[in-house]
Structure 1
């Protein structure tokens, strides 16, 4: 590959990375083009990480796992930060699917990969992500431990100045806010939501982080019994979610909007919103089951 072509591919990778949070479909288009233009293993691994991230943001967990697992398995080159980032993302997805044993296996592999890089910043970044994903049960004691892990994770990631650092911090703020909402600890929720929303403004408008911030803000306003304001926030979040074609996010937001209409005793809009939610549910394929099957099949086929 010529130097000029390699530089062009790297520029396209950077363009895709900057596009993911606001327009994952466009990022997928760019990455798929890159894959037709390069055989460079490092570039293809980077492209696989970006493709996995894009599919995750779209809610297509089956495709995210299929691309990510295959990329790590096929990579025979020297380990890089993209190996570690891809491991971390796969751990997150496996945790969300409650495939905890498999997530633990990949956590061990991720730590081994990060240690081989001899880069303390990367190792701290990974420690932060593992802490973030390592949530525990709903008991009061366990919830406090989860808070401590999230605060510690944020401290780790604050010291890291690599790509996606802002979005990583923003997502931890949202994790903290969501846990506070669940525990009805409302005094400091707005602080973490405002932090996340401010960080979302560093990306193009109507991005994934903004959507999640507005969704949680709507849930916060519901608990504050500010139902009209909650509906306004959730409607904007829903419009962004529709751009991502992320049906599960759309369903969650639509259900929250309906709850607010019911609280206002606006039965006509409650009925209409429920009908929209039912349409979304009927359009939602069983992506989670497909993703679980892909993970199990891949693991079974590639066990030593």
Structure 2
């Protein structure tokens, strides 16, 4: 099949999905089905997910729940593209509508997603704040069979944060708890999430120098990702496997895994993934003395690294902006509390002054009355004398 035919088929698929979304805008089951299918495709076709999410929002002006779900779908798609600034933009739009819905599970979903978003922005304190809030809502949710996936995501992201902030052993414990919850959920919905969890668990084992366990995790991650045709997740897991091979001096196997990952990543355009693949290829080609391929991949690594730094400036700016807004809000709150306290103190002081003024005035009147009586008595005695 030619590239032109592939593109035509892709655009046709987009058109058909958007038409279905429009025709069944008022049919909840159809919209839920579209969201579910599209959510499983965000790692392969994030741009399609963005378009469909936009259609869901546009065609459901009177349905708050589906507008929230549409915005979250767009946010998830931008996250898969690692465009965290745009992802946060649409997540904020979803969050602003939460007060207008009574759907507790949807609230848990958005609050969990907010914790994930802050983790991606490396604002770990805010991430934990939202994860704690989501966990509390999960504990209070009455239908326990409905919250396995959300609890799994909550545990998994905590594991990722603990990997960065505490230790890999603590991280693995939480990642395992996340996987256990995922396995209780719908197989189609959780397979890609389990693949992500296993990939990160494999990286933890690498840091602990447990290469055999790491390779097992990466291989299982590949298997799970292939089951749902999540190409970027397959590529990430293959890259992990290649790292194990590199550490063990199996450079030919590492190159084979990395080239397979590169073929998959070219369809996804993930800069972080491409950077790591080019770096791995350069290192392994250098190890086997293939200078030409080493040079090609090293130059591509430098090129992609520059693109990532340019993008990170935007993400860091967004993160700092979040911190600044939060700081301003805290200052405003403290300022309001200070003025309130000052007003209360002034009121109390005024009452004290008035109290003593009344007491003193009353005492002065009593003294004047006593003086008057003494004066009258003295005059009376003088007349008698």
Gaps of 5+ in 2: 1-21, 334-385
Question: CA 1:156/1:10 → structure 2, altered by over 3 Å: closer, same or farther?
Answer: closer
Question: CA 1:229/1:246 → structure 2, altered by over 3 Å: closer, same or farther?
Answer: same
| Structure 2 residue corresponding to 1:237, chosen from 247, 256, 261 | 261
Question: CA 1:288/1:164 → structure 2, altered by over 3 Å: closer, same or farther?
Answer: farther
Q: Deviations over 1:75-115 (max 9, x none)?
A: 22113434323333332332243212211221233234434
58-67 or 90-99, which deviates more: 90-99
Question: CA 1:281/1:186 → structure 2, altered by over 3 Å: closer, same or farther?
Answer: closer
Q: Distance in 2 between matches of 1:69 and 1:98?
A: 17
Corresponding residue number in structure 2 for 1:249? 273
Corresponding residue number in structure 2 for 1:175? 200
Corresponding residue number in structure 2 for 1:6? 26
CA RMSD of aligned residues (A): 2.8
Q: Is residue 109 of structure 2 the alignment partner of residue 109 of structure 1?
A: no
Q: Deviations over 1:5-45 (max 9, x none)?
A: 32254443234223212211221122222222221211111
38-47 or 80-89, which deviates more: 80-89
Q: Deviations over 1:112-136 (max 9, x none)?
A: 4434532323544444333322243
Q: Is the 8 A contact 1:23 1:207 kept in 2?
A: no
Q: Is the 8 A contact 1:254 1:273 kept in 2?
A: yes
Corresponding residue number in structure 1 for 2:55? 33
Corresponding residue number in structure 2 for 1:216? 240
Corresponding residue number in structure 1 for 2:168? 143
Q: Is residue 90 of structure 2 the alignment partner of residue 56 of structure 1?
A: no
Question: CA 1:3/1:80 → structure 2, altered by over 3 Å: closer, same or farther?
Answer: farther
TM-score by length of 2: 0.70
Q: Is residue 45 of structure 2 the alignment partner of residue 23 of structure 1?
A: yes
Question: CA 1:242/1:62 → structure 2, altered by over 3 Å: closer, same or farther?
Answer: farther
Q: Is the 8 A contact 1:52 1:64 kept in 2?
A: yes
Q: Deviations over 1:245-267 (max 9, x none)?
A: 22122112111111111111222
Q: Is the 8 A contact 1:80 1:117 kept in 2?
A: yes
Q: Distance in 1 between matches of 2:317 and 2:219?
A: 38
Q: Is residue 91 of structure 2 the alignment partner of residue 68 of structure 1?
A: yes
187-196 or 45-54, which deviates more: 187-196
Q: Deviations over 1:148-200 (max 9, x none)?
A: 22222222222233763111211111111111122220222232222212211
Task: Flag the structure with more relative contact order, 1 or 2, with Cα contacts below 8 A and sequence separation at least 6.
Answer: 1
Q: Is residue 155 of structure 2 the alignment partner of residue 131 of structure 1?
A: yes
Question: CA 1:116/1:18 → structure 2, altered by over 3 Å: closer, same or farther?
Answer: same
Q: Distance in 1 between matches of 2:224 and 2:163?
A: 29
69-78 or 39-48, which deviates more: 69-78
Q: Is the 8 A contact 1:79 1:116 kept in 2?
A: no
Q: Is residue 69 of structure 2 the alignment partner of residue 46 of structure 1?
A: yes
Deviation at 1:52, TM superposition (A): 1.5
Corresponding residue number in structure 2 for 1:88? 112
185-194 or 82-91, which deviates more: 82-91
Q: Number of aligned residue pairs: give it.
A: 301
Q: Is the 8 A contact 1:20 1:54 kept in 2?
A: yes
126-135 or 221-230, which deviates more: 126-135
Gaps of 5+ in 1: none
